[in-house]
Structure 1
Amino acid sequence: MLIEALSSRLLKSIGVGICLVDEATLSATFCNPTFATWFPGAEPGIAICDLIEDLEPEILTEANPARALELKTRIKRRTLIIETRVHRTEHEGRTILLLECQNVSRLRETEAMIDSYVAMADRRTRDLEREKAQSEKLLLNIMPRTVYEEYKSFGSVTPRLFEPVSVLMLDFVGFTEMAAAADPTVTVAELNDIFTAFDRIGELHGCERIKTVGDCYMAVAGLPHPNPDHGRSAAQCAVKMMRYLQRRNETHPHHWRARIGIASGSVVGSVVGVQKYIYDVFGPAVNYAARLQSLSGPMEITVCTSMTGELIDDFVLSNSRKEQVQGFGECAVATLTDRKSAAHAA
């Protein structure tokens, strides 16, 4: 008798809801105070499925103790989540279902809060990754990848001598007048389309675009990785650029006419500036290419004749002449065309 009294007192005092249900009638035979607090109206004799709306007879009779049921109950204005496990036992020839209930509302709220924080952290991580990718894309637009990797690792770029390389310098004839006469938005949009095409041509032929200044476009072959055919790469790139402009002019109202200079020599590459930094190259080859570009006529490519041996097999070099080049004195130069264009002209 003492043991029964202690058991009854224990069931009433623990923080776990306990309800004994007769399996045959599905009516409660005992409910401890905790269970009655969570499910108001719980008392011996009440049909348990009527007391708990979410509880169907099939769910109750087929329940497995290893799998917890989550039942909801509302007390005043708050909805509680009650995790329930059903145990089956025999007593005096009857099958009794023991409902063991725990209030997991705070646990579920905590889990929901954690899930929210995790989702927010994941979203923030994705945003940071997207911003990082955009920053990387922007930096790769103004410097070669190897230079970017060095800058990312060390925060600075060591000036480096590249020798030999070929520098391609291009600008457009009459661009100032065109920009003044046409809608600036249209002019800039077309210039962007053309430079984008030039970038693709450069990637195809191993020419690294270094920078654009207004209508001036500069690219280098043989940088940052050595290229023994740098002269041929720069020449192929220049010819494809001219061919692209010729085809474009056939279908567009604005006719873009370029002039190109190509020179070989040494350059020094490095990142200049601190806040508005940019990767740039300097050296005799850059200055020489700029001078040759200024000597070119519309839709003409001018090269120094020191590149003849490298280009003679794949291109036609014509109009060989001596020109007085500022800073370089008298230099031998020639006009370059590809064999296909030369044969077509003939």
Structure 2
Amino acid sequence: MSILAINEQLLRAIGVGVAVVRASDLSFVFYNGPFDEWFGTPADGQTLLDLIPSLDPRELDDVKQSGLRYTVELQIKPKRRTLIFATAVSLANGLSEQVLVVEFQNITRIRELESMIDSYSTMVERNTRELEREKERVERLLLNLMPRAVYEEFKTFGVVTPQLYDQVSVVMLDFVGFTDFAAKTDPTVTLSELNDIFTAFDRIVEQFGCERIKTIGDAYLAVSGMPDATPDHATAVAHCAVRFLRYLERRNESHPHKWQARIGLGMGAAVGSVVGIQKYVYDVFGPAVNIASRLQVFANPMHIVAPEEMKYALIDEFQVSDIGRVDIKGMGEMDLINVTSGLSVPQPVRRF
């Protein structure tokens, strides 16, 4: 219900006190409930001036003679509180005898209700602002869980249709010796370290137009080529991988905890969708993810391993060396390559 609608209903609820008196002697012919509530029940023979002496007798006589309307604001204290009434007296003609119609509108009550309406309006505005802020917080949270294009679909339709992407590239990073480190280190320190590192990784991923999908413990997964197709998806994840290692090397120079990571790259098809009903998670499945996950195991610390099919996409910007054919669990034999930084400094992707 709008504020205007509430205002109208409240004003109607105020009521108007009405009394009809004979013009000749001001004796009562009729009075309604609000009049009775505010001024009391007139006794037999009691006139309007007896009940409300603050009315001006001369003005009442002028109404009877000229027919002009008499208006006045009266202050009356029927009990402990003072009430203010807007009073109007008019002459009614065309009857067997002349009568005066006296109307009373409770100004005090109107002002109280206006104050209530103002307070309610302020409360509604404050709640609206709080809801907007909460909406923004929820939006930021969901955008941390899924790409913006997926979020827009989810916001519009309430569901996300699983999408198959024929060609994407994936980077999977895992830290060396993390299990032992976590067992020997205070959990708050471990979480602080991971938060610091993953925050830096997120900035790198964003620079090169990739999407961070998730972290699982010490594992970090990002993709390029979804939900928006990217022709240079392979080089994008490779640049991210190189920057990850470069960041860790520089960080290790000034931090007491030295981190080393293995990185696997994968390229191929993938399916992306929101998983879950109450707890939403955007996840990616498919050959590209499986390859990256398997290959990071074969990487030496602070090295990047990729399938040979990515070689020709990377060779112009990176140094690529053959590792040879390796038997990979669940995938059979696969030719692998080692990827290191090229001589040229890559330019981050600009987002507008």
Long gaps (5+) in structure 1:
1-5, 10-31, 43-69, 84-100
1:180 and 1:71 map into 2 onto residues whose CA distance is 83
The residue that corresponds to 2:250 in the other structure is 247
Post-superposition CA distance 1:159-217 (Å, at most 9, x none): 11012000110111111111111110011011012111111111110110111110111
- With over 3 angstroms needed to count, the CA separation of the structure-2 counterparts of 1:103 and 1:338, relative to structure 1, is same
- With over 3 angstroms needed to count, the CA separation of the structure-2 counterparts of 1:72 and 1:118, relative to structure 1, is farther
2:203 and 2:83 map into 1 onto residues whose CA distance is 63
Query: Greater shift after overlay, 225-234 or 243-252?
Result: 243-252
Long gaps (5+) in structure 2:
1-22, 27-48, 57-72, 87-103, 346-352
The residue that corresponds to 2:264 in the other structure is 261
Equivalent residue for 1:151, pick from 149, 154, 160 = 154
Q: Does 1:187 align with 2:190?
A: yes
1:115 and 1:80 map into 2 onto residues whose CA distance is 21
Please list, as runs of the form range in 1=range in 2, the aligned pairs for 1:127-206 lying within 5 A after superposition. Answer: 127-206=130-209
The residue that corresponds to 1:209 in the other structure is 212
Q: Does 1:115 align with 2:133?
A: no
Equivalent residue for 1:307, pick from 310, 326, 342 = 310
Shift of 1:74: 8.7
Query: Greater shift after overlay, 305-314 or 220-229?
Result: 305-314
Letter of the 1:106 counterpart: R
Shift of 1:327: 2.2
The residue that corresponds to 2:284 in the other structure is 281
Cα RMSD of the aligned pairs, angstroms, is 3.5
Shift of 1:280: 0.9
3-state SS of paired residue (1:323): strand
User: How many residue pairs are counted as aligned between the two chains?
Assistant: 281
Query: Greater shift after overlay, 246-255 or 150-159?
Result: 150-159
Shift of 1:259: 1.0
2:274 and 2:170 map into 1 onto residues whose CA distance is 18
3-state SS of paired residue (2:191): helix
Letter of the 1:130 counterpart: R
* Cα pair 2:317 2:344 within 8 Å, conserved: no
Identity of aligned residues (%): 57
- With over 3 angstroms needed to count, the CA separation of the structure-2 counterparts of 1:177 and 1:7, relative to structure 1, is farther
Shift of 1:119: 1.3
- With over 3 angstroms needed to count, the CA separation of the structure-2 counterparts of 1:71 and 1:284, relative to structure 1, is farther
- With over 3 angstroms needed to count, the CA separation of the structure-2 counterparts of 1:33 and 1:133, relative to structure 1, is farther
The residue that corresponds to 1:97 in the other structure is none
2:105 and 2:333 map into 1 onto residues whose CA distance is 96
3-state SS of paired residue (1:250): helix
- With over 3 angstroms needed to count, the CA separation of the structure-2 counterparts of 1:298 and 1:112, relative to structure 1, is same
Shift of 1:224: 0.3
Post-superposition CA distance 1:75-96 (Å, at most 9, x none): 975365689xxxxxxxxxxxxx
- With over 3 angstroms needed to count, the CA separation of the structure-2 counterparts of 1:82 and 1:193, relative to structure 1, is farther
